[in-house]
Structure formats: structure tokens, C-alpha cells
Amino acid sequence: MIKIEKAEVMNFLNAIRGARNPMNSWDRSDSVSGNENNKNTIPEIGENDLKLMKSLCKAGSDHRKFMRQIFVSMDITAPLYWWKEFDTYKVGTTSNSTSTMHKLHSRPITIEDFSSDHLTKEDTEVFNSYLDYIEKLRLDYVKTKDKTIWDRMIQMLPCNYEQLRTITCSYENLLNMYHARNTHKLLEWRLYCDWIKTLPYADELIVNIK
């Protein structure tokens, strides 16, 4: 399971202006800003600007530097096994996560805390028994504050435990993720790439540039 919320796309017009710096072609820019009272409103990209942006994107990463200046912020809730692969993309991304260190023991541990959409009925029964034991450890830790119990609980935590992270990245990051992962074996990656396709001008600047 993966959930993406509170997404914002920022800095399109500044990125476009920068893309025109090398040729001093600012007078050819034809994009129109959105609501002046809302800097996060996506502008209407003009024909001239879109043609330039698409051309730079197809020319390769050395030429499409403006893509690094279009920023995306979002909250992603996903299992640890997905985050492990997402962490490949450390360059140019910033992540601020909820803490298992401080919060894992703060409330009951139930199957709702885990990605379990592919589990069969038998799998679920076995998994719930396992979680019952981890919950027992949690209660023992809350009662005793014995760090050795907490260590055991952390080491037994399954990789389908879901974690929320607030992510900030660029369109360049998303382009690289999309083309590397859109046919990935993990459903979470395919869903994430489907979400990338819904972003403003993703079709022109991310999906169809290779």
C-alpha cells in the first residue's frame, strides 16, 4: 500500500526564466502566472516555453537543469520495504519521517499499521499472531522501560510496517524515478509512477521525453 497526500508543485515560472538565461531569450517567454495571491498555483505554460522545456528535457540531464528547480512536496505513507528502495534517490531529495525510535511504543501495534493487502486469510492469521507477540513486548517495555525489550521489538518489526515521510524533491528526481521504476515488480512503485503522471505537465516533461 502507498498513499500520497498534501502534494504541492512550486517554482515553475522561476525555472522557466532560468531555462531562458543561456540564450537571453526572456522576451520569448509566454507563460501566464496563476492566482497572484497563491504562489503555489500552477501557471499556464505557453507554447514557446513548453517547446523549449521539452527540447531541453530530451537533450539530456546536462541541458534540463531547469527541472531541478521545479519542486514537489508531499506526504507519503508506505511500507519500509518500499522506503528502502526509495532511499536510492538521496541526491536532491529531502525526507522527514515519523519516528519508530520515539513513537513505536506509544500506542497498540495492530495490523492496520502494516501493508497487508496481498495477504491471504491464512497469512493474516499467522501475521496477527506474530503482531500479538510484538504487542506483548511493547506492553512490557511501557511497564518496565527495559531497553533490551525495546531492542527486541525493533528487531522483530516486519518490513511491511508503514511509515509517513514528508518528501521534497524536484521534477528531475521524479523523471529519474519514473523511467527507472514504472514497470517495477512492486505494486507500490507502479502506483507511485501513476501518481507522477498526474502532476502538471508531467506528460510533456517526464513521461514522454525518452
Which tens digits make up the pLDDT trace of 78-105? 999 999 999 999 888 999 998 776 578 8
Measured from the Cβ of residue 55, the count of other Cβ atoms closer than 10 Å reads 13
Query: Distance (Å, rounded) from C-alpha 43 to C-alpha 49?
Result: 12
Q: How far is CA 122 from the centre of its chain?
A: 32
Average the pLDDT over 27-50 and give the result.
82
pTM to 2 decimals? 0.91
Query: Distance (Å, rounded) from C-alpha 84 to C-alpha 58?
Result: 30
pLDDT for 195 equals: 98
For 139, the 3-state DSSP assignment is helix
Q: What are the residue ranges of CATH 3.30.1360.170 in the chain?
A: 3-97+162-207
Q: Using N-to-C axis directions, what is the helix angle for 12-19 and 47-59, rounded to 10°?
A: 70
| 3-97+162-207 CATH choice from 3.40.50.10790, 3.30.1360.170, 3.40.50.920, 3.40.50.80 | 3.30.1360.170
pLDDT for 106 equals: 85
The pLDDT-based confidence of 32 (bands split at 50, 70, 90) is very high
* Residue range 184-202, pLDDT digits in tens: 999 999 999 999 999 999 9
